[in-house]
Structure 1
Amino acid sequence: MSRQASGLMAWLIQRTTAVYLALFLGYLLLHFTFNAPADHAALLAWVNQAPVAIGLLLCVPLLLAHAWVGIRDVLIDYVHALGLRIGLMMLFGFVFIASGLWVFKAIVTAGLRGYA
Protein backbone atom coordinates (compact mmCIF):
# COMPACT_ATOMS: atom_id res chain seq x y z
CA MET A 1 0.00 0.00 0.00
CA SER A 2 1.30 3.38 -0.94
CA ARG A 3 2.06 5.91 1.75
CA GLN A 4 1.76 8.63 -0.89
CA ALA A 5 -2.03 8.77 -0.50
CA SER A 6 -2.53 8.25 3.21
CA GLY A 7 -3.81 10.54 5.92
CA LEU A 8 -3.87 14.21 5.03
CA MET A 9 -2.79 13.58 1.42
CA ALA A 10 -5.69 11.18 0.83
CA TRP A 11 -8.08 13.72 2.35
CA LEU A 12 -6.67 16.48 0.15
CA ILE A 13 -6.89 14.33 -3.00
CA GLN A 14 -10.51 13.45 -2.22
CA ARG A 15 -11.52 17.08 -1.60
CA THR A 16 -9.73 18.68 -4.53
CA THR A 17 -10.89 16.07 -7.02
CA ALA A 18 -14.43 16.32 -5.65
CA VAL A 19 -14.47 20.09 -6.21
CA TYR A 20 -13.31 19.76 -9.82
CA LEU A 21 -15.70 16.89 -10.54
CA ALA A 22 -18.64 18.76 -9.04
CA LEU A 23 -17.89 21.88 -11.09
CA PHE A 24 -17.25 20.02 -14.34
CA LEU A 25 -20.24 17.70 -13.97
CA GLY A 26 -22.38 20.73 -13.12
CA TYR A 27 -21.17 22.36 -16.33
CA LEU A 28 -22.01 19.20 -18.29
CA LEU A 29 -25.46 19.02 -16.74
CA LEU A 30 -26.21 22.65 -17.57
CA HIS A 31 -24.79 22.36 -21.08
CA PHE A 32 -26.77 19.24 -21.98
CA THR A 33 -29.92 20.60 -20.36
CA PHE A 34 -29.95 23.94 -22.18
CA ASN A 35 -27.82 23.29 -25.27
CA ALA A 36 -28.05 19.59 -26.10
CA PRO A 37 -26.36 18.61 -29.37
CA ALA A 38 -28.79 17.74 -32.13
CA ASP A 39 -26.81 14.80 -33.46
CA HIS A 40 -23.55 12.90 -33.19
CA ALA A 41 -21.71 15.36 -35.45
CA ALA A 42 -22.71 18.25 -33.18
CA LEU A 43 -21.51 16.30 -30.14
CA LEU A 44 -18.14 15.64 -31.81
CA ALA A 45 -17.83 19.31 -32.77
CA TRP A 46 -18.50 20.27 -29.15
CA VAL A 47 -15.98 17.73 -27.80
CA ASN A 48 -13.37 19.00 -30.28
CA GLN A 49 -13.42 22.47 -28.75
CA ALA A 50 -10.16 22.90 -26.85
CA PRO A 51 -11.64 23.86 -23.44
CA VAL A 52 -14.08 20.94 -23.51
CA ALA A 53 -11.45 18.42 -24.64
CA ILE A 54 -9.01 19.61 -21.98
CA GLY A 55 -11.76 19.49 -19.35
CA LEU A 56 -12.68 15.94 -20.33
CA LEU A 57 -9.06 14.80 -20.42
CA LEU A 58 -8.53 16.32 -16.97
CA CYS A 59 -11.77 14.87 -15.63
CA VAL A 60 -10.83 11.25 -16.35
CA PRO A 61 -7.66 10.98 -14.22
CA LEU A 62 -9.20 13.07 -11.45
CA LEU A 63 -12.26 10.83 -11.38
CA LEU A 64 -10.05 7.75 -11.27
CA ALA A 65 -7.88 9.23 -8.50
CA HIS A 66 -11.01 10.11 -6.53
CA ALA A 67 -12.41 6.62 -6.96
CA TRP A 68 -9.08 4.95 -6.13
CA VAL A 69 -8.63 6.82 -2.84
CA GLY A 70 -12.23 6.08 -1.85
CA ILE A 71 -12.06 2.38 -2.72
CA ARG A 72 -8.63 2.05 -1.11
CA ASP A 73 -9.88 3.59 2.13
CA VAL A 74 -12.96 1.34 2.19
CA LEU A 75 -10.84 -1.76 1.57
CA ILE A 76 -8.33 -0.79 4.24
CA ASP A 77 -11.10 -0.12 6.77
CA TYR A 78 -13.37 -3.09 6.09
CA VAL A 79 -11.36 -5.93 4.51
CA HIS A 80 -9.13 -7.30 7.24
CA ALA A 81 -7.65 -10.33 5.44
CA LEU A 82 -4.45 -8.96 3.92
CA GLY A 83 -4.40 -11.28 0.90
CA LEU A 84 -7.99 -10.51 0.00
CA ARG A 85 -7.42 -6.78 0.47
CA ILE A 86 -4.37 -6.80 -1.80
CA GLY A 87 -6.20 -8.90 -4.39
CA LEU A 88 -9.18 -6.55 -4.40
CA MET A 89 -6.90 -3.51 -4.61
CA MET A 90 -5.14 -5.07 -7.60
CA LEU A 91 -8.48 -5.84 -9.24
CA PHE A 92 -9.79 -2.31 -8.74
CA GLY A 93 -6.47 -0.86 -9.87
CA PHE A 94 -6.60 -2.89 -13.07
CA VAL A 95 -10.22 -1.88 -13.72
CA PHE A 96 -9.44 1.81 -13.11
CA ILE A 97 -6.36 1.79 -15.35
CA ALA A 98 -8.22 -0.07 -18.13
CA SER A 99 -11.19 2.31 -17.84
CA GLY A 100 -8.92 5.34 -17.97
CA LEU A 101 -7.13 4.08 -21.06
CA TRP A 102 -10.43 3.25 -22.75
CA VAL A 103 -11.90 6.70 -22.06
CA PHE A 104 -8.68 8.42 -23.15
CA LYS A 105 -8.75 6.42 -26.40
CA ALA A 106 -12.40 7.35 -26.95
CA ILE A 107 -11.72 11.07 -26.46
CA VAL A 108 -8.64 11.05 -28.69
CA THR A 109 -10.44 9.01 -31.37
CA ALA A 110 -13.38 11.44 -31.31
CA GLY A 111 -10.92 14.32 -31.69
CA LEU A 112 -9.07 12.70 -34.57
CA ARG A 113 -12.28 11.93 -36.43
CA GLY A 114 -13.22 15.57 -36.18
CA TYR A 115 -10.07 16.53 -38.10
CA ALA A 116 -10.26 13.78 -40.73
Structure 2
Amino acid sequence: MSRQASGLMAWLLQRATAVYLAFFSTYLVLYWIFNPPASHADLVTWVTHPAVAMGLILFVPVVLAHAWVGSRDVLVDYVHVLGLRVGLMLLFGFVFLASGLWALKAIITAGIGG
Protein backbone atom coordinates (compact mmCIF):
# COMPACT_ATOMS: atom_id res chain seq x y z
CA MET A 1 0.00 0.00 0.00
CA SER A 2 1.13 3.51 -0.57
CA ARG A 3 1.54 6.45 1.75
CA GLN A 4 -2.07 7.37 0.91
CA ALA A 5 -3.16 4.38 3.01
CA SER A 6 -1.99 5.97 6.23
CA GLY A 7 -3.82 8.05 8.77
CA LEU A 8 -7.51 8.52 8.07
CA MET A 9 -7.51 6.37 4.93
CA ALA A 10 -5.93 3.45 6.79
CA TRP A 11 -8.44 3.87 9.61
CA LEU A 12 -11.36 3.89 7.16
CA LEU A 13 -9.99 0.88 5.27
CA GLN A 14 -9.56 -1.03 8.52
CA ARG A 15 -13.15 -0.27 9.60
CA ALA A 16 -14.70 -1.01 6.20
CA THR A 17 -12.92 -4.32 5.90
CA ALA A 18 -13.88 -5.20 9.48
CA VAL A 19 -17.56 -4.67 8.67
CA TYR A 20 -17.37 -6.98 5.64
CA LEU A 21 -15.42 -9.59 7.58
CA ALA A 22 -17.94 -9.50 10.43
CA PHE A 23 -20.96 -9.95 8.16
CA PHE A 24 -19.43 -12.59 5.90
CA SER A 25 -17.94 -14.55 8.81
CA THR A 26 -21.31 -14.51 10.57
CA TYR A 27 -22.94 -15.81 7.39
CA LEU A 28 -20.37 -18.62 7.13
CA VAL A 29 -20.75 -19.68 10.75
CA LEU A 30 -24.56 -19.61 10.67
CA TYR A 31 -24.71 -21.43 7.34
CA TRP A 32 -22.38 -24.17 8.55
CA ILE A 33 -24.24 -24.54 11.86
CA PHE A 34 -27.65 -24.93 10.23
CA ASN A 35 -26.64 -26.57 6.94
CA PRO A 36 -23.24 -28.27 7.23
CA PRO A 37 -21.96 -29.90 4.05
CA ALA A 38 -22.22 -33.68 4.31
CA SER A 39 -19.43 -34.37 1.84
CA HIS A 40 -16.68 -32.71 -0.13
CA ALA A 41 -18.96 -32.69 -3.18
CA ASP A 42 -21.59 -30.76 -1.20
CA LEU A 43 -18.95 -28.25 -0.11
CA VAL A 44 -17.75 -27.76 -3.70
CA THR A 45 -21.34 -27.36 -4.88
CA TRP A 46 -21.92 -24.70 -2.23
CA VAL A 47 -18.66 -22.88 -3.05
CA THR A 48 -19.47 -22.84 -6.77
CA HIS A 49 -22.77 -21.04 -6.20
CA PRO A 50 -22.21 -17.60 -7.79
CA ALA A 51 -23.10 -15.55 -4.70
CA VAL A 52 -20.90 -17.64 -2.41
CA ALA A 53 -18.03 -17.68 -4.91
CA MET A 54 -18.16 -13.90 -5.28
CA GLY A 55 -18.32 -13.50 -1.51
CA LEU A 56 -15.27 -15.73 -1.08
CA ILE A 57 -13.36 -14.05 -3.91
CA LEU A 58 -14.07 -10.67 -2.27
CA PHE A 59 -13.24 -12.10 1.17
CA VAL A 60 -9.64 -12.89 0.19
CA PRO A 61 -8.44 -9.34 -0.67
CA VAL A 62 -10.54 -7.86 2.12
CA VAL A 63 -8.98 -10.07 4.80
CA LEU A 64 -5.51 -9.45 3.36
CA ALA A 65 -6.02 -5.67 3.29
CA HIS A 66 -7.30 -5.79 6.86
CA ALA A 67 -4.32 -7.86 7.97
CA TRP A 68 -1.86 -5.62 6.11
CA VAL A 69 -3.14 -2.38 7.67
CA GLY A 70 -3.24 -3.94 11.13
CA SER A 71 0.22 -5.49 10.96
CA ARG A 72 1.70 -2.37 9.37
CA ASP A 73 0.28 -0.20 12.14
CA VAL A 74 1.66 -2.54 14.82
CA LEU A 75 5.10 -2.56 13.18
CA VAL A 76 5.17 1.23 12.80
CA ASP A 77 4.12 1.70 16.42
CA TYR A 78 6.32 -0.91 18.09
CA VAL A 79 9.34 -1.70 15.89
CA HIS A 80 11.59 1.33 16.05
CA VAL A 81 14.63 -0.01 14.18
CA LEU A 82 13.95 1.06 10.58
CA GLY A 83 15.76 -1.84 8.90
CA LEU A 84 13.96 -4.44 11.00
CA ARG A 85 10.60 -2.73 10.41
CA VAL A 86 11.12 -2.65 6.64
CA GLY A 87 12.27 -6.28 6.64
CA LEU A 88 9.25 -7.41 8.61
CA MET A 89 6.92 -5.42 6.35
CA LEU A 90 8.47 -7.10 3.31
CA LEU A 91 8.12 -10.51 4.94
CA PHE A 92 4.49 -9.87 5.86
CA GLY A 93 3.79 -8.50 2.40
CA PHE A 94 5.20 -11.59 0.70
CA VAL A 95 3.31 -13.91 3.05
CA PHE A 96 0.05 -12.02 2.47
CA LEU A 97 0.59 -12.01 -1.31
CA ALA A 98 1.36 -15.73 -1.40
CA SER A 99 -1.63 -16.50 0.85
CA GLY A 100 -3.94 -14.45 -1.35
CA LEU A 101 -2.77 -16.12 -4.54
CA TRP A 102 -3.11 -19.56 -2.95
CA ALA A 103 -6.63 -18.82 -1.68
CA LEU A 104 -7.80 -17.45 -5.02
CA LYS A 105 -6.33 -20.49 -6.79
CA ALA A 106 -8.23 -22.78 -4.41
CA ILE A 107 -11.51 -20.95 -5.02
CA ILE A 108 -11.04 -20.90 -8.79
CA THR A 109 -9.98 -24.56 -8.86
CA ALA A 110 -13.11 -25.51 -6.92
CA GLY A 111 -15.19 -23.45 -9.33
CA ILE A 112 -13.90 -25.20 -12.46
CA GLY A 113 -13.97 -28.62 -10.85
CA GLY A 114 -10.27 -29.25 -11.30
Task: Give the TM-score category using the shorter length.
Answer: over 0.9
The one-character-per-residue Cα deviations of 1:67-106 (angstroms, maximum 9, x if unpaired) are 0000000000000000000000000000000000000000
Match for residue 79 of structure 2? Answer: 79
Matching residue of 2:100: 100
Give 1:41-60 correspondences, 5 Å limit.
41-60=41-60
Moved over 3 A (4+): none
Q: How many residues align?
A: 114
Alignment of 1:1-116 (within 5 A): 2-113=2-113
TM-score normalised by the chain length of structure 2: 0.98
**Cα RMSD over matched residues?**
1.0
SS in 2 for 1:4: helix
Q: Shift in Å at residue 4 of structure 1?
A: 1.7
The alpha-carbon deviation at position 58 of structure 1 amounts to 0.1
TM-score (norm 1): 0.96
Q: Percent identity?
A: 69
